[in-house]
Structure 1
């Protein structure tokens, strides 16, 4: 019997690549997005349901999960992929921008998890894959909002990993580095600060650094999708999956994967998980 994955943000980038990969490998796919017109490339396949899900709309989250279960009978894997980045000097950033960053990247993600958990608990199985970022374990200047949201995803995912282990539900984090997507376009918000001249030198330096970044070193979305597929299907208790040579190098300079896994193993032993 085919398994089913629900993907948020499936209209482009990593989400679309993941939805396509899982569908090509025989999975049922609930491909969700804010505008279903953007899912034309996925619609029409017998094993794909394209439906609306807006992380700022609680009713749409509940409806999308319900539609997926009604169509395919269960949701075995949730891929929380949808999100965006807000950058700029914190002092110059309106609270409305800050709240939206966390509403989408954190609270919408949590609400989607809450929506799938009743069915996963009932079947005593499931995998939740949260797409974090290399920026979930290290930071760049002017990224206090984005990094804050991704560090929140890292923390809640690690804690949830312990919480759901006794129910047969695994929680995974995928941490990509640079990816050739539209992250710098519609998935990116930058608050400039001309009225705060003290920050302008850093703003100018950051803008120049972004322009000079070589996209040749970035991953393609399908490469991240392969890492996601591995995380969803390897049957292990591993939490973190780094995606991309750049991310591996950056995080390797900051953390030891072996120490991370040893720490998690020790916590699981302490609590009998």
Structure 2
């Protein structure tokens, strides 16, 4: 029997590329999304079931899992990919913006994971792959709430991995860098309009100029990230973290090899080149 994976957030980007990649490798795919009626490509593959799933709604999650098991017999892997980013000066963000970010990126992952665990536990096998981000290890300014949500999933996933070893269930963390998807554009366009205090003007101008100057030669494609996800889920090892994107390799190596304070000063030099952090 072919193996089956359930993927959240499969309507675009890494989620959709992963659905296509696993399908091409002979896997059955439960491609879930909030608006499956808009999907026009995945529905044409006989081994892909496109079905609704809203990660903040328990009934929706249970129904998607039930439909997947009914169609393919069992589920062997879960890819928690659904999520979004919000950006801006933290001080200007509303309470709703912050809570909505955590509802999807953190509690949504927990909701789907908890719902699939009885199935994995019963069969004493399963792999859970959680998409975090390079910023889950390398925090950037202007995305503090998004960074916090990814740090939360990093910690949750590692703790859960030790817990689920007892049930022969593996947990994998995928850390993509900047990726060729519409994620970044959506992060800025979907963010709540805010009025920033004037004191941040110089910092915003310099930081935005830095982001705009970053080259695109090392950006990974969604297909390349999907390949990393496939390798993580199928390699049969106890490896926990997988870097998906050449642009963050050197920065993660710097984090691993520098002292904590040296690394903080390294990032501070990037984001505060004019010494904002040294003002009295």
Structure 2 length-normalised TM? 0.88
Is this contact kept in 2: 1:192–1:203, CA < 8 A? no
Q: How many residues align?
A: 256
C-alpha change, 1:190 and 1:169, in structure 2 (3 Å) is same
Deviation at 1:57, TM superposition (A): 2.3
**Within 2, Cα distance between the matches of 1:144 and 1:184?**
15
Counterparts of 1:113-132 in structure 2, within 5 Å, are 113-132=113-132
SS at match of 2:31: strand
Is this contact kept in 2: 1:88–1:203, CA < 8 A? no
**Within 2, Cα distance between the matches of 1:215 and 1:53?**
33
What whole-Å deviation, never above 9, does each CA across 1:38-66 have from its counterpart, x for those lacking one?
32211032211000111222221111111
Is this contact kept in 2: 1:5–1:76, CA < 8 A? yes
SS at match of 2:141: coil
Counterparts of 1:173-212 in structure 2, within 5 Å, are 173-188=173-188, 189-190=190-191, 193-212=194-213
SS at match of 1:255: helix
5+ residue gaps, structure 1: 257-273
Counterparts of 1:144-163 in structure 2, within 5 Å, are 144-163=144-163
Is this contact kept in 2: 1:136–1:147, CA < 8 A? yes
Counterparts of 1:1-273 in structure 2, within 5 Å, are 1-188=1-188, 189-190=190-191, 193-255=194-256
What whole-Å deviation, never above 9, does each CA across 1:159-184 have from its counterpart, x for those lacking one?
00000001010000010111010012
5+ residue gaps, structure 2: 258-280
**Within 2, Cα distance between the matches of 1:67 and 1:161?**
27
More off after superposition, 47-56 vs 157-166: 47-56
Deviation at 1:211, TM superposition (A): 2.5
Deviation at 1:143, TM superposition (A): 1.7
What whole-Å deviation, never above 9, does each CA across 1:197-232 have from its counterpart, x for those lacking one?
112222222322332232332110000000000000
Is this contact kept in 2: 1:89–1:192, CA < 8 A? no
Superposed CA RMSD: 1.4
Is this contact kept in 2: 1:193–1:199, CA < 8 A? no
More off after superposition, 206-215 vs 92-101: 206-215
Deviation at 1:70, TM superposition (A): 1.1
What whole-Å deviation, never above 9, does each CA across 1:229-249 have from its counterpart, x for those lacking one?
000000111100011211211
**Within 2, Cα distance between the matches of 1:193 and 1:35?**
28
